[in-house]
Structures are given as C-alpha cells and as structure tokens.
A and B are shown apart, each in its own frame.
Chain A
C-alpha cells in the first residue's frame, strides 16, 4: 500500500484525462483535473497537489511552460512532474526532462508502469520530506550550539585596544578561533587556533580550548602552562586525526617583551616599527592535540618589542588563499605588502584587502583569519575599571603567611596562582591584585633566575640575548636538584589602610648589595647584574615605599602601602 497522494492531471483531451483519472483513482489516490497549462498552474497554487501529470501539448499554455511555472511556485518543496506524451522520439522525450520534468509517461497508458511510477515518486516525496525535517532540526540545533559556543569562546568580545582581528568563515562555525584576555599584571595573552576541519567538530574543540585559556589566564598562570593544559585537553577530547594548529602569544607591556608559542600555523611576522623590517617566527612545535608524549614541546620565540612594533598571525587561509586560476596567495605577496606600506597602521586593512582582491569571487575560499597585536603601554582604563569593580569599603585583617617552595615545586609549578589566591581572599588587597602580581612575580623570578638558578641577567643583552637567556633558564630548571624560595607576607591594617610587607628569600649565593646600591640607577650593575638592574625592579621600586636587600643579598624585603594611587 502506498500513502494516498493528491494528483493533478492536466490534459486538454477529455477522454485521455478521464481514462487516466480512473486509473489513478483506482490506485487509491485523489485526483484534481485541469484542461490546459494555465488552469494547471491555477489549480496547483490553490490546492498544492503532491504530484503533477502534465500533457505536453495543450492550448493557452503548453506543458513545458506550465512545468517551469509550477516548479518556481513549489520553491523548496518537492513536486514531481510527469509529462504525458504520445511522442516517441528520443529528442522529444529528452526535451520533457530538460524543461524541468522529472519523468515521462507515453500514451497509451500502461497501468503497471503508471502504478510503479506513482509508487516511486511517493517514496521520493517522503524521503524528501524527512530530509527537509532533518535539515530544519539541524539548523535549529546549530543555532543553539552556536549560542553556547559564542558564550564559551566569548567570540566577538575580544575588546583589547592593541589586538585587532578578522575572522571570516564559510560555515556557521569556523575552524578558526581567536581568544584574547588580560593577565592579572595587565599583560595580554592572545591565541589563534585553526582546527582541522570546519563546523561542529571544530566548534566542539574550541570550547575546552577557550575554557582553559580564559580560566588560567585570569588566574595568573603563565603561557607555557596554559598551552600545556590546552594540549592535554585537546588530546583527550579530539579523535586522533583532529588537532589544532595554533599560536599563543604573551605580550608583556611593562617589560616590552613578546613571547610566542607557534605550533603548526604558517610563520608569524614580527614588524619592527623602527626600521620597517619583518622577521618571520616559524612554527617550532607540533600542533595542539596531536600528542601528550615527549614530542610535544614548549619551545618559545622570545623577542624585545617596542611600542608600535606589531605581530601578525594568520591561519593557513591567508597564505593558501586561491585566485580563480587556482594559484595561491603565498608568502611572497604577503611580504610585498609589508615593504610597500606607508603607514604601519594600514597594514591590517591592506593585508585583508589584498587577499580579498586576489581571491575574487572564488567559492573555495578557506577561513581567512588575521590577528594583529601591537605593543603599547598598559591600558589604564582597564586597570582602573578592574579596581573600581573590586574597590569597596572593607574590614581588613592582620595576618602573616609563610610559603616555602622546594626545588621540585620550583621545577614544575608556578606559585603565582596560589599566591594570588591567598591575596585575593584579603579584603582591601583585592583592588591591588595587578600591582601585587607585578611586585611578587618580579621578586619571584629574580629569586628563581638569579638566586636559585644563578643566571646572569647580562646574558639578556644583545639581539639574540633573550632567546639564549630563556634557553639557559629552561636547561638549568630541568637539571635543578636542590634549592628553595621562601616567601613571607605580613599584613598590618588599620581602618581602610594597611601595610603589606613581602619578603622573598632564596637559597642562592646572593650578591654584594651594598656595592650595587651605589650603582642603583645603572642599567646593568655587573655583579651578576642582579636585582637593582632592569625595568622590572624599577617598577617594584615605584610601587613600594621600601625595597631593601638583606643578608648576603639573597633576601629582599619590600613594603607595599595601601590605599595607593594606580600605576
């Protein structure tokens, strides 16, 4: 048994129409009749039958014109049209199908064939109906998923002055993700991720990525720790053949340093505003989510970055953008834009425009994602805003806390999230988390790098110095067997004011602080280049009412008074 169909039969020959109607009714279907092409269209629009049988030759409007009109009226709905014809030659029959018909039936009618065709089209109709319903359901689900995805990745909410980005996409979801978030010290983390594939698989992967990125960045984790966590998460979540090419960036706007982890994306470009030169930062790590094994690495690019210097990151969509001839945009064209630009502020728009022009109307365009990060001074507005949100009247407490970090902890863990957590639990200090993060992380890295690891900051001098310095730091940290850092924090509070004394002691050999004090303002003091040099300590001095080296130089004590004016 087939379901009952409503069948429109249009034929100007009344006898033929009656014969056909009788056969169709006998098969259990309802029949609507029309005597010419125009009437067929009128009946179709009024009654919307399921199937149309059209005589080819009819007065007023012939079958082929009527078929075109009916198909247009049907839109996305499937209305099979079968032509009725006494013509037998191949050309005429082919013409029926070319004009929009789905099949033909030759006169005189053969009952067996007619029944089989009605059955076949009935099947096709119900399949089409199911497909349409599935498609509507899919769109509905995608809309909900998109909302969840946008909420999690906060897409479209990257509101950081010195980060510009463009994301274009073919699908509802794109394989590309851009995330950016302030660190507690006012620096910025930026992530560009390019998942293999598009659509839901990419969107699903983006969610754990975004959660790890935002959560850990705001808690004060370092970029390496975040990248490692994202890799672990993706490796567990994604199937073997899916992964995420990415570049993760840390911009330190106080010390003017950029650090980038590049895995699987095309070379990033560093644009030096002073001499307009471009340096490529190549991919030196496996993409995220490929392996948790020893092949996964945290090799970083470290570079000095002055105000106005820019870093450009892109997914392969830009380099591999194809023109209509199938030729790729390529790195040479990319570099040319950098040499031709007059005002570096135009680079971003110039790049996008050049790729767009090159692609023309090419349908096969991949995601073209571009991110530009410019070095600038820390954003006052953001910091003030943060302070206002947390700065309400408080009842402070007196307390003292002592944290001891042994070698194994120094080796594998970043204590900053723990320390910031302790401080954030103290009313009154919350508002100063940015300053305190800066002070403590500065003292801590000095204690670790110069004290425990015995690194000389003079190593940082020179063009390749940064990279060499961090390479030594990594090596010595890996080999670290003994040593410790002791952090003591003591708060004394009165009303809405207080004094926090921070004492950082390391197991290192110290340095001659009495001697160095005389050279306090020199950029490099020679004596292991320790502590009194560098922009970091200068900042600590600015924020603290007292900075004092004790013992043999392996202890430093600072006083932080609050309330305090902002940075």
Chain B
C-alpha cells in the first residue's frame, strides 16, 4: 500500500494516488498527504487506478479528508475506481458526499 501526493503546478489542486489495499495501514500516510499540502488547495482528486480494495476504515479516511476540505463545501473527486472499489463506494452511498467518476 502506498500513498503519493501530486499537486498541480499552481498549487490549487491536489491529486492523491492510492495503490494496493486502501485500509487502516494507510491512515498515517493518507492524513499526512493532505495535511502537509499547501493551504490553498481548492480541489482534491483521489486516484484509485492502482487501488485494489477499500475497507471501512478507508471510507472513514475519506470522511476525514472531506472534513478537512470544508465539509459540505469540499470539492473531492474519486476517480478510476475498479469494480470492487466502486461497489464499496456505491453500497455506502458515498456518491452523496463525493464526486465519483
């Protein structure tokens, strides 16, 4: 499991790539990624291209990011989900809270 941050050139967008099993072991890394990012990040993108699995503590981490990014006014997209990851997001109805592509 690895988490990596890819800020846009103007620093207003942050893409977080998660690879492998996205579970509790990612907790520290994931939080650090957005907490240490520039303060003027407006838009977040979670790239799940290489994420194989998502558990409920990962859903919790997404909620923490949403809180960090301003709660209801947060702009967070979750992109490139494989069918397993997509299914877990659907069951939880996280489409209500995040923009899932």
Contact = CB atoms under 8 A, between A and B. Distances in A.
Interface in A236-251: 240-243, 245
Interface of B: 56-57, 59-61, 63-64, 67, 72, 90-94, 96-97
A286 B57 contact: no
A264 B60 contact: no
19 contacts: A196-B56, A196-B59, A196-B60, A197-B56, A240-B64, A241-B61, A243-B60, A245-B91, A245-B92, A263-B93, A264-B91, A264-B93, A283-B92, A283-B93, A284-B93, A285-B93, A286-B93, A286-B96, A290-B97
A282 B87 CA distance: 11
A242 B94 CA distance: 14
B92 A266 contact: no
Secondary structure at chain A's binding surface: helix, strand, loop or mixed?
loop
Nearest to B92: A264
A291 interface: yes
A242 B96 contact: no
Contact of A240 (B57, B60, B90, B93): B60
Nearest to A289: B63
Interface in A267-306: 282-287, 290-291, 293, 295, 297
**Ordered nearest first, which 8 A-B pairs have the shortest CB separation?**
A241-B60, A295-B96, A196-B56, A264-B92, A286-B93, A283-B91, A241-B64, A240-B67
A532 interface: no
Contacts of A290: 63, 97
A188 interface: no
A206 interface: no
Interface of A: 196-197, 240-243, 245, 263-266, 282-287, 290-291, 293, 295, 297, 316
Residue with the greatest number of chain A CB neighbours at <10 A, chosen from B63, B64, B93:
B93
A241 B57 contact: yes
A297 B61 CA distance: 22
Nearest to A299: B93
Given A242-B60, A264-B91, A316-B56, 10 more contacts: A197-B56, A241-B57, A241-B61, A264-B93, A266-B91, A282-B91, A284-B93, A291-B97, A295-B96, A297-B96
A282 to B, nearest CB: 8
A167 to B, nearest CB: 18
A284 B63 CA distance: 18
Nearest to A265: B91
A452 B96 CA distance: 33
Contacts of B67: 240
Residue with the greatest number of chain B CB neighbours at <10 A, chosen from A241, A282, A295:
A241
Nearest to B57: A196
A240 B67 CA distance: 8
Contacts of A264: 91-93
A503 B15 CA distance: 64
A96 to B, nearest CB: 35
A220 to B, nearest CB: 29
